[in-house]
């Protein structure tokens, strides 16, 4: 083998190696760029064990049968992309989801999934397209309850009644009673707008104002009924009805007793 042929062969090998090196470097750069540009926490690329567990639970609780395998929504249920963990936490911790049967509206039930499971499903849904996170409601006790009452009467009372007793809407739908609502649930309902409730984002009603509303709702929840029975706390309508039916009924019975012969 002549030296000239050796060097030529060496040069050819070097060229091949250089080409390979360029490709490797380019691929490496591409990965870095992708990692920087791609949405963080994407379901495909994530390593969060909560998300994986949430995806499994998403199928276990048959969420996927209505909302689709990738929560993309379907004929019977909306897409969950972008609704956030707050919506999951609200719907599942109030037992509205998983849906028990189809109707005008999902009623409140004891929750089916555990708190940890709800958190995992929330992490999965959050990973799909962001949305409101489960809010931190600490410190609501320190907020201005009177201001909260004013905000409640302007923004909430039209449907939920002035003390949160709920009320009817159109075609069998209704605004539920807030008697059992927790501070977190109230906050979540405002930011996510479950079912037909309008959305009250943090710019429409600021977080401080939301805490004040929570304080008002909690304060009326624990208020005593001076008459003994709240009668649904819907004001003079039920009070009059009971007054007429029960009061007059008793008066009639008493009259009958007076009229009977001994």
Which chain residues interact with other proteins by CB under 8 A? Answer: 150-151, 154-155, 158-159, 167, 169-171, 173, 175, 193, 195-201, 203-204, 209, 223-228, 257-258, 260-262
Two structure tokens written together for 115 = 């708190």
Question: Toward other proteins, which CB reaches closer, 53 or 106?
Answer: 106
Burial classification of residue 151, based on how many CB atoms lie within 10 Å of its CB (0-12 exposed, 13-18 middle, 19 or more buried): buried
Question: Toward other proteins, which CB reaches closer, 151 or 217?
Answer: 151
Residue 195 CB, nearest distance to other proteins (Å)? 7
Q: Which residues contact 72 (CB under 8 A, 6 or more apart)?
A: 79, 81
The helix-helix angle for 115-129 and 84-93 (nearest 10°) equals 150
For 120-163, the DSSP string reads HHHHHHHHHH--PPPP--TTGGGS-HHHHHHHHHHHTHHHH-TT
Give the phi and the psi of residue 175 in degrees, each rounded to 5: -90, 120
Residue 194 CB, nearest distance to other proteins (Å)? 10
Query: How many Cβ atoms are within 10 Å of 108's Cβ, its own excluded?
Result: 14
Residue 72 CB, nearest distance to other proteins (Å)? 17
Residue 100 CB, nearest distance to other proteins (Å)? 20
Question: Toward other proteins, which CB reaches closer, 48 or 208?
Answer: 208
Residue 247 CB, nearest distance to other proteins (Å)? 13
Question: Toward other proteins, which CB reaches closer, 111 or 230?
Answer: 230
């Amino acid at each position: 083998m002549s030296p000239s042929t050796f060097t030529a062969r060496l040069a050819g090998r070097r060229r091949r190696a250089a080409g390979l090196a360029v490709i490797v470097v380019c691929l490496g750069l591409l990965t870095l760029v992708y990692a920087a540009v791609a949405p963080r926490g994407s379901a495909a690329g994530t390593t969060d064990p909560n998300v994986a567990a949430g995806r499994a639970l998403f199928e276990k609780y048959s969420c996927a049968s209505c909302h689709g395998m990738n929560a993309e929504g379907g004929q019977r249920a909306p897409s969950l992309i972008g609704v956030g963990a707050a919506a999951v936490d609200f719907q599942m911790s109030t037992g509205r989801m998983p849906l028990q049967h189809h109707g005008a509206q999902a009623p409140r039930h004891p929750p089916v999934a555990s708190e940890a499971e709800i958190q995992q499903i929330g992490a999965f849904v959050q990973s799909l397209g962001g949305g409101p996170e489960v809010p931190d409601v600490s410190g609501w006790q320190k907020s201005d309850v009177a201001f909260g009452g004013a905000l409640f009467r302007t923004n909430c009372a039209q449907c939920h009644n002035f003390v949160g007793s709920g009320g009817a809407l159109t075609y069998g739908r209704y605004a539920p009673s807030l008697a059992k609502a927790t501070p977190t649930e109230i906050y979540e309902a405002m930011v996510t707008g479950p079912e037909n409730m309008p959305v009250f984002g943090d710019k429409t009603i600021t977080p401080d104002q939301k805490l004040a509303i929570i304080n008002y709702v909690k304060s009326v929840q624990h208020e005593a009924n001076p008459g003994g029975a709240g009668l649904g706390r819907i004001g003079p309508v039920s009070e009059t009805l009971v007054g007429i039916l029960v009061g007059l009924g008793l008066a009639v019975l008493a009259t009958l007793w007076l009229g009977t012969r001994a």
